[in-house]
Amino acid sequence: MTHSSGTTGAAGRANGSVGAKGPDELRRQIEQTRAQLGDTVEELAAKADVKARVHSAWDRVPREAVVIGGAGVAVVAAGVLVWRHYH
């Protein structure tokens, strides 16, 4: 069975093109695909870098919030200890 469609496969259909019109166009499409794949790999690597993501999230937390949160935990812990002592 022969395939007579003018498309070049999923990549050709994804961007609406019919296919390369010549060697220069094919080279341009290959370079464009390489750039897109490079961007995708970089995005996936950034998502997989848990240490960098945690560090980035920690940098967005205001230091005052950390101090207030720590003080709140200390007050609750002291309250629990006092409560347990009298009960």
What confidence tens digit (pLDDT) does each residue in 58-85 have?
777 787 888 888 899 999 999 999 998 8
Please check whether residue 71 lies inside any domain of the structure: no
Q: What's residue 31's pLDDT? A: 93
Please check whether residue 24 lies inside any domain of the structure: yes
What lies within 8 Å, CB to CB, of 17 at 6+ separation is 8, 29
SS3 48: helix
What lies within 8 Å, CB to CB, of 52 at 6+ separation is 46
Number of folded domains that form the chain = 1
Q: Are 17 and 28 in contact (CB under 8 A)?
A: no
Structural domain including 13 reads 7-48
Please check whether residue 86 lies inside any domain of the structure: no
Q: Are 18 and 8 in contact (CB under 8 A)?
A: yes
Please check whether residue 11 lies inside any domain of the structure: yes
Q: What's residue 32's pLDDT? A: 93
